Amino acid sequence: AQSVSQHNHHVILSEAASLELGCNYSYGGTVNLFWYVQYPGQHLQLLLKYFSGDPLVKGIKGFEAEFIKSKFSFNLRKPSVQWSDTAEYFCAVNENTDKLIFGTGTRLQVFP
């Protein structure tokens, strides 16, 4: 069965630090990949997505992610985080169906 792993459960950073959140999935076929963010008290929002093409995907708010097929990874990055990036981040995968399989999430805390 398909699964998604996010190894960083809780990340604490100072403002301006660089961020990389890991995401690995277990499926050998064609997949669509997503990163969602959930700010405190708010609903899930799409940060970025990869369907095909350039494996380096740019999303909103300065986030980007790189799809590395050989490593089954889709890590999220941001060169300089802000306090407002404090949120829960979820990686998700689907295999050309409607079903999204979510990772367990990474809680990011950014301190000024």
Q: Which residues bind another protein (CB under 8 A)?
A: 4, 32, 36, 42-46, 49, 51, 90, 94, 96-105
d(CA 67, CA 92): 13
- The DSSP bridge pattern shows strands 87-94 and 101-102 to be antiparallel
Least distance CB 44 / another protein (angstroms): 4
Nearest to another protein of 56, 100 (CB atom): 100
Considering the complex, state which of residue 18 and residue 96 has its C-beta at the smaller distance from another protein: 96
Cβ at position 24, least distance to another protein in Å: 14
Name the E strands within 16-63: 19-21, 24-25, 32-38, 44-50, 56-58
